[in-house]
Structure 1
Amino acid sequence: MKLVVGLGNPGSRYERTRHNVGWLVVEEVGRRWGATWRAQGDAHVAEVRLGPAPGTKVLLVKPQTFMNASGKAVAPLVAFYKLEPGALLAVQDDLDSPFGLLRLRQGGRHGGQNGVRDLIRALGTEVFPRLKIGISRPPVGWEVSDWVLSKWREEETGTLEQLVRLGADAVEVWAQEGLAAAQGRFNGTDLRPPPAPVAERPAAPEPAPGGSDPGVS
């Protein structure tokens, strides 16, 4: 069995906030594979089988603790199903990646993401894979806490939907083919819009007949 945890906060207040993008990804995987969610401990979980029959058994997890206590929900599930750390994939928002980027990595420090920080604490290891969805650093004048709990803007919806679909694709490849295959296929993902072209400087006006200066109006 594999376990995929979407990091986020429970409750309608936090739906569609940047911090909950991990939930959106695991919900998309569940939608594709006919998940039926149930309560188990401090989480909502759903068992699905990915790929051709008999398929790869995957437990989708949405912690019902708040982000800072994600480990409280996940560690008991890891112990109950006797999983190794490599069988756990944490899907998280990432402040250090621009919105539109998606990448997978094998373990490492939490990078300030409090859900990952608590998973490391509860599991006693940094060695578990992460799927990181870029949400960008906050604009000037914003506190980080306000930014991660802010709702997605309407103009971001199209890119967000693409990221969620690709994130779900990446989960499926990770579960069925492994981390290296998923990294090779998805770590180049960049959905950022291209920069606006720089307007060319207009050519200088040709001198008027007779060499007089056309002047500037």
Structure 2
Amino acid sequence: MKLIFGLGNPGKKYDKTRHNVGFEALDRLAQQWSADTPRAKFDSRVAECRIGQQKSLLVWPQTFMNRSGMAVQQAVSFYKTPLESVLVICDDFSLPLGRLRYRAKGSSGGQNGLKDIIRAVGSEEAPRLRIGVGPVPERWDAADFVLGRFNADEADDADEAIRRAAESVAVWAEHGIVDAMNQYN
């Protein structure tokens, strides 16, 4: 089974913020692949679906971004899933708006959700898909920036990036991280 985590913050207050593009990508995946109705499990909302031929679990952690590791660790332990079958989708303000970047493993790069996941699972080996939401404007606090919404000039680019991110997950699920990197980075 593939475990696909979209990171974000729960609650209406955070809908459509830069920090919640992971949630939005999962929403698209759920719709595109006719996922089951989400239910509560692993301190998350979870929904099963098939992405191509791959049985998959979509996971929206409800623990807030900085505590995402708890939900990931619970699901990975329950299903005894190897980390190469896990994908974490998150925002990245170091990437230009709309840019996608797959990585097979690595550090958190300052992304607090990834940092907590690495701490909780004890490894940097989990594949991740970063969705560019940056850059942070001069004299802006990074936290305020990622918790803000896209302005009117950015909305179409953000929506297109989320659409492409959801589309790219099928390549990752069926063909692996290298093919996803080659097609979408």
Common fold by TM > 0.5:
yes
The 5-angstrom pairing of residues 47-86 of structure 1 reads: 47-51=48-52, 55-86=53-84
Question: 1: CA distance between counterparts of 2:121 and 2:16?
Answer: 28
**Higher relative contact order structure (alpha carbons within 8 Å, sequence separation ≥ 6):** 2
Provide the residue aligned with 1:185 in structure 2. 183
Question: 2: CA distance between counterparts of 1:108 and 1:179?
Answer: 13
Question: 1: CA distance between counterparts of 2:42 and 2:103?
Answer: 28
Question: 1: CA distance between counterparts of 2:133 and 2:139?
Answer: 16
1:112 to 94, 110, 120: 110
> Does the CA-based 8 Å contact 2:133-2:158 persist in structure 1?
no
Provide the residue aligned with 2:166 in structure 1. 168
Shift of residue 103 of structure 1? 1.3
Question: 1: CA distance between counterparts of 2:42 and 2:4?
Answer: 16
Shift of residue 33 of structure 1? 1.3
Shift of residue 137 of structure 1? 2.6
Provide the residue aligned with 1:38 in structure 2. 39
Shift of residue 41 of structure 1? 2.6
Q: Please, what TM-score do these two structures have when normalized by structure 1? A: 0.83
2:139 to 125, 131, 141: 141
Shift of residue 141 of structure 1? 2.0
| Sequence identity (%) | 46
1:98 aligns with 2:96: yes
* Count of paired positions: 184
Q: Greater share of strand residues, 1 or 2?
A: 2
SS in 2 for 1:176: helix
Question: 2: CA distance between counterparts of 1:32 and 1:101?
Answer: 21
Shift of residue 156 of structure 1? 1.2
Listed one character per residue, the Cα deviations across residues 98-153 of structure 1 (whole Å, up to 9, x for unaligned) are 11211101110001100000000000000111101111131122111100100111
Provide the residue aligned with 2:2 in structure 1. 2
Shift of residue 160 of structure 1? 1.2
Amino acid at match of 1:11: G
Question: 1: CA distance between counterparts of 2:54 and 2:42?
Answer: 23
Question: 1: CA distance between counterparts of 2:76 and 2:119?
Answer: 14
Question: 2: CA distance between counterparts of 1:50 and 1:106?
Answer: 19
Amino acid at match of 2:77: A
Q: Greater share of helix residues, 1 or 2?
A: 2
1:27 aligns with 2:27: yes
Gaps of 5+ in 1: 188-217
Question: 1: CA distance between counterparts of 2:42 and 2:3?
Answer: 15
Gaps of 5+ in 2: none
Amino acid at match of 1:13: K
Provide the residue aligned with 1:125 in structure 2. 123
Structure 1 runs of 4+ aligned residues shifted over 4 Å read none
Question: 2: CA distance between counterparts of 1:152 and 1:137?
Answer: 12
Q: Please, what TM-score do these two structures have when normalized by structure 2? A: 0.97
